[in-house]
Structure 1
Amino acid sequence: MKRFISIFWILICTLSVFQNGHVSAGKCIICKFGSILTPLNSSITTKLNTDKPLKSRHSMTLSLENSISVKASLDHYTEKHLPTSSKPDEEHIKSSSPRTSVADLSPDDKESFVLVFTSMYGHLTDPIPTDMVINLVGVLACSPKLFSTLTQPCLNSALSILAVNQCALHQVPPKESGLFLKGLLSLSPGVLNSIPKSSFVSILGMVSSTEFFNEIPQSSTMNLITALSMSKSSVNCLPLQTLLSLLSFIASKTHTEFMMKLPPSTHFGFLDGLLDTLDDSSPFLVNTIPTSVLVTILSPAMTSRMLSVLPISSFDSLVSVLGSSQALSKDLPVSNFISMINILITSPKILGSLNPNNVAKMLSTVATCPSIFDSLPSNLMHQLFESITVYLPSSLACITANEYSILFGKKN
C-alpha cells in the first residue's frame, strides 16, 4: 500500500510543479524541482543536458521501495508552456502533503492532476494501483465542472485509463461513481460521441440501477440518449445492466413526458440502435428485458404516422423482433399490428425492402397467437396476402402450410 501511495503523491507533487508560476525562465520544471519533491521512501533522479534546446528529451527514474522502478522519457518544459498560478512554491509543496484530500485541491490543481496523470500514464506500472484510479475518479467526481474544462484528447485519455482498469473502477465508492457519471453526462452529446466507443460503453457499465437516472437531471439522460442515437455500435455494446436500467427509466416516463421531447432524428436514431441490438441478440435480449418495458417503448413507435417515416433498416429490425417473441407480440395492442399491416399494404417500397425471413417470422407469430389473429380484419389479411405475393413472394415460402392456411384462408 505504501508504494501505491508513493506513486500517487509523486503525481500530486508533479502537478504542484506544473502549477508553479515562479520558475526561472528557460529551465525544465521537472528537472529543477525533482530533487525537492521526493515523497517518503522514494527517490527521483533526472538526467539533464542544459545545452539542449527547449522541449528536448530527458529521462526520469522513479525508484520506490520494494524495488519498483518507473522510467520515463519526457519533454523539457518551461513555465511558459504550463498554466500559471499565483501560489508561491511553499504553498504548492504544502498542498502536496499526504494530509490533503484531492477534494481540497484548487480547481487549477485538479485540472493539472488530470493532465499530469494522463500524460504520465504510459510510464506507470500496468495495471496501475487501485488507489490511483479511485483518486482520478475522485478528482473528477468532486468537481463536475472540471469535465468541461478538459480538452477532448485529455478527457479521452482519462476515460481510457479508467476503462482498462475495470477491477479498480468497481472499487470506487457508489457515491463518487454517481457524481463522476453525473459530471460526465452533463457534457454535450457531441463531446460524448467523440469519446472512443470502447471506453464510453465501459464507463457506462458503472450504471447498474434505474435509481441513477432518477437522481441526475433529465437533460443529462437526454444527452446520453442523443449520444447513443449517433452511434448504433454504442447501443449494441452497452452492458446488459446499463441497458436495462436506461430502458426501465424511459418506460417509467410517459411518452409525451420524455421521448416526444427528443428531436425526431434522435428518437429514430435511438430506436434504430435499440431495435438492431434486440434483433442482433435475438431471441435472448428481447426475452430478457421485461416485456412491459419493451411494450411501453415500442408501442408508441408502431403507429401509422411513425411507421411511415421509420427508416427501412429500423422497420426490418422491428419486424424481426416481433417475430422473435410471442410474449412481446401478445402484449402489444392489436392496433399496432393493424398499423404495420396497413403500411406494408400501401407502401410497396417498404415491403419489397424487407428481409423475407423476417416477414415470415412475424407472420408465423401472428398465426400462432390467436389473440392477435382473431382481432385482425379478414379483408386486411387478404390485402396483405396480395401485396406479399407481388412484392415479396419469397417470404411465403418460409412459413408452414398450416400457418399459410390460418393466415390467408377464410376464418371460421
Structure 2
Amino acid sequence: MKTLQAVRGMNDILPADSALWQYFERTVADLLTGYGYQQIRLPIVEPTELFKRSIGEVTDIVEKEMYTFDDRNGDSLTLRPEGTAGCVRAMLQHGLLGSGVGQKVWYTGPMFRHERPQKGRYRQFHQVGVETFNLTGPDIDAELIALSWRLWQRLGISDAVKLELNSLGTSADRARYRDDLVTYLKARFEQLDEDSQRRLASNPLRILDSKNETTQALLVDAPKLADYLNDEARAHFTELRALLDAIGIPYQINPRLVRGLDYYGLTVFEWVTDQLGAQGTVCAGGRYDGLVEQLGGKAAPAVGFAMGIERLLLLIETLGKVPAELARQVDVYLVTLGEAAVTAGLRLAEQLRDRLPGLRLVVHAGGGSFKSQFKKADKSGALYALVLGENEVAEQQIGLKPLRTEEEQENLSWQDLPARLAQII
C-alpha cells in the first residue's frame, strides 16, 4: 500500500522539535500573564461570513486562500485564516464588551491559508494573537509594542528585528486618499504589475505593499497617506511615537505599511527581520476600531497583533538562540535488572518524583541486559544513570553513574538519593 503523507504545507511537529515550541509557548504565556492578559481559546472553524465581513471579500485571503466547505447542514464554514475576527465574534457572543471595561486577551493555535508553501510559510501555520478592547488611547498601542519588544529580549532576538510603524488614519482619511491614489495609478496603469492592476479596482491601498520593483518605483511620486490624516489621527500617531521614544524602543516610519486586512485604521506596525529571506515579517498588528461594529456589535475601540510561531522559531534557530538546556530532555535514566529490581525501581521512581517535581526521570521499560539498557540511557542524553539490580534491592542501595564525565559511580542509600540528585541536577 502507498504510504500516506501529510497534506502539502501542513507539517508534523516531531518530538525532537517540540521542546523549542514548548519553550516559546511558556515564554509567551509568562510574559502576557505578567502584563495582565488572559487566555481565550477559540474554535478552529468559523462561519465563512465572519471572514467575509471582517477581512473583506476583495482581499487575497478571502478570494483565493481560505479553506471553505459546506457542512452536512449546508452551512458554509471556513478553517480560520486568522484569529482576530473569531476573537471579536467571541467577545460579542458572550457579552464581554458591553460594560465598557477594558479587555486584554490572547490566544494561540493553528491558522489555515492555501498559499504556496515555502520556508517559514505554510498552509497550516501557528500564531499567537494578542487583542485589547474598550481602550482608546495610544498608550495601549504603545503597551502592545512594548510587550512584544520585551518578548524579543527574552528570546534573545531583539538585535535581529526592527519595528516599522505607520498610521492609516480614519476611514474618511483613507477614502480621500484612495480616490487620489487611484487617479494617480490609473494614469500609469500599463506600468503596474498584474497583481496591482487587479487590486486597483478592488483594494488599491494594497498596491503600496507590492514587492514588484517597477511598481515600487511608480509609488515614489504617488500621493502620501500621511498628508491626508486629520488632526485627531495625526495627534494619536504623534503621541504614540512620543511614548515609544520615552520607553526607548527604536522604530522606523514606513509610509507604505498598510497591512493586508481591511479592518485596520490608525496605528499599524510590523516587526521585521532580514535574517529569513523574503519572509521578513515575524509580528504585525494595529488598531481596528471599526471591526466590532462591523460584526454587529456596538462600536468599541480595539487594537492587537499576531506573531507567526514558525517564523519566530526559525529566527531563534538561525541566530543560534536555542537555550542549551533544550538539547537535553532527560536528567536521569533508571536501569533495572531482575523482577524485584523492576518493582522496586518503579516505586523508587515515583518517590523521587514526589520529592523532586522538576526531575526529568526515565525508567527503562522492556527489559534487556544492563549493556543494552546503558546504550539506551546514553542515547537518551541523560546526565546520570541510576543502577538497580537484585543486590542493590536487597541492600536498599542504588548506583549513581555519570554518563557525560569520567567520574566514578557512587553507591547511595535510597534515603540519601533525593538529596544527592538535588545537589547535582
Which bin holds the TM-score, normalised by the shorter protein? under 0.3
TM-score normalized by the length of structure 2: 0.25
Q: Which has the higher contact order (CA 8 A, sep 6+)?
A: 2
Which structure: larger Rg? 1
TM-score normalized by the length of structure 1: 0.26
Structure with greater helix percent: 1
